[in-house]
Amino acid sequence: MKKINVIGITAVVILFLVSTSCQDAVVNNIREVTVTDSIPDSISTKKVGFELVQIKGLSNFVVWINDEPLTEEQFDAIDLPFNWRKNQPREGEPDGGKFYRSPDATEDGVFTKEEHFGYQWKFNAKVVDMNVDLPDNDDGLLAGRNIAKYHQVRFNAGRTIYVLISPDGKEYIRISRDANRTIDEAIIPSSWQIKERVLTEELILDLPNPTLNIRAENNQDSFQGPVEL
């Protein structure tokens, strides 16, 4: 039987999510910057959260986000059975955001919450396709997964955002990073690009459902979309 690789399945964590009203994405409010531009102090403090992945079948991966404060030491100490996996602690890039509902809910504001391994968790995402084919990715530098979720993110004016651009021009915004990464720069195929942009106005995005989550395999940077910027 083929071994299922669930390390780094999703990057949907934004710890201490803030409540904001649903708005259309702000467009035409960004400019390209060079790598010498300074990054605002507002993103120097990262939000780190934790996820568990429950494997219910070959195409049924349920993602649980911690719904109570949890330290990395507590997370590391959780002993999991064979059908559970830990996602690495993630740094959330947005300044705020929210999940509207659990993926199986029929209306906003409804969440499935359960206690697992002594802590409270919230069902906030589901992997619906583990292996999405990506263009010009023969060397496997990127991994693509479709994630079902109802997710809005917000970036403050003045922020630098990081955008992954596919060979066909689709754009994916960086949502989270491996909190324990040892390599900062994502390695991507030569026909793909990563652009830095500075927001001149607040940016609010409702990510598509499902969201294509593209991760750089070398450092697990997570870009999600496609989005219109």
- Looking at the structure of the chain, the number of domains it has is 1
Q: Is residue 12 part of a domain?
A: no
Distances in Å between the alpha carbon of 122 and those of 102, 119, 165, 195, 227? 8, 10, 31, 33, 25
Task: Give the mean model confidence (pLDDT) for residues 188-211.
Answer: 98
Task: Give the mean model confidence (pLDDT) for residues 111-119.
Answer: 97
Domain span including residue 43: 30-227
Local confidence band at 48 (pLDDT 50, 70, 90 cut-offs): low
In the chain, the percentage of residues whose pLDDT exceeds 90 is 71
Using the predicted structure, report yes or no on whether residue 118 has a pLDDT greater than 50: yes
Local confidence band at 6 (pLDDT 50, 70, 90 cut-offs): very low
Rounded Cα distance between 183 and 226, Å, is 25
Q: How many residues in total does the chain contain?
A: 229
Rounded Cα distance between 127 and 115, Å, is 21
Give per-residue pLDDT as tens, 53-64: 999 987 789 999
Q: Is residue 2 part of a domain?
A: no
Res 41: pLDDT? 32
Q: Is residue 223 part of a domain?
A: yes
Res 150: pLDDT? 97
Q: Is residue 22 part of a domain?
A: no
Task: Give the mean model confidence (pLDDT) for residues 168-195.
Answer: 96
Q: Is residue 24 part of a domain?
A: no
Using the predicted structure, report yes or no on whether residue 1 has a pLDDT greater than 50: no
The residue ranking higher by pLDDT, 89 or 72, is 72
Q: Is residue 5 part of a domain?
A: no
Using the predicted structure, report yes or no on whether residue 27 has a pLDDT greater than 70: no
Q: Is residue 101 part of a domain?
A: yes
Q: Is residue 136 part of a domain?
A: yes
**Strand-strand pairing, 203-206 and 193-199:** unpaired
Strand-pairing partners, residue 31, are 198
pTM summary value: 0.76
